[in-house]
């Protein structure tokens, strides 16, 4: 296990907080990631009043990076589909 420490005192505390936060998150298989991604996308579009990444992080017990990455990939996919349809 590799730990990264910054040189300033506050950075050290912040990096340890982030490390401890990430340490407690689940490790998912590929199939579980795909299923969770579907649930995140569905939740994102069906709950516009409560779709911040912080709220979804607490609800699905997964880190914000996975949530943001999943949503951005879905939005890119939808944009590509609309562009493809408009061109024809």
16 lies in a domain?
Answer: no
Question: Is position 39 within any domain?
Answer: yes
Does some domain include residue 17? no
% of the chain exceeding 90 in pLDDT: 43
Question: How much helix, strand and coil, in percent to the nearest 5, is found in the chain?
Answer: 75, 0, 25
Specify the pLDDT at position 8: 53
| Total-model pTM | 0.66
The answer to the question of residue 13 being in a domain is no
| pLDDT value for 80 | 96
User: Which residue range is the domain that position 32 belongs to?
Assistant: 28-87
6 domain-assigned = no
Asked if 66 contacts 60 with a C-beta cutoff of 8 angstroms, the reply is no
Q: pLDDT digit string (tens) for 34-75?
A: 999 999 999 999 998 888 888 999 999 889 999 999 999 999
**Cβ density class 6-43: b for 16+ within 10 Å, e for less:** eeeeeeeeeeeeeeeeeeeeeeeeeeeeeebbeebbeb
How many domains is the chain built from?
1
């Amino acid at each position: 296990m590799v730990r990264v420490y910054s040189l300033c005192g506050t950075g050290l505390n912040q990096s340890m907080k982030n490390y401890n936060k990430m340490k407690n998150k689940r490790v998912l298989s590929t199939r579980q990631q795909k299923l969770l991604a579907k649930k995140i996308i569905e939740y994102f579009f069906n709950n516009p009043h409560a779709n911040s990444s912080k709220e979804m992080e607490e609800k699905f017990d997964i880190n914000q990076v996975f949530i943001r990455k999943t949503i951005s990939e879905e939005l890119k996919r939808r944009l590509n589909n609309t562009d493809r349809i408009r061109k024809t």
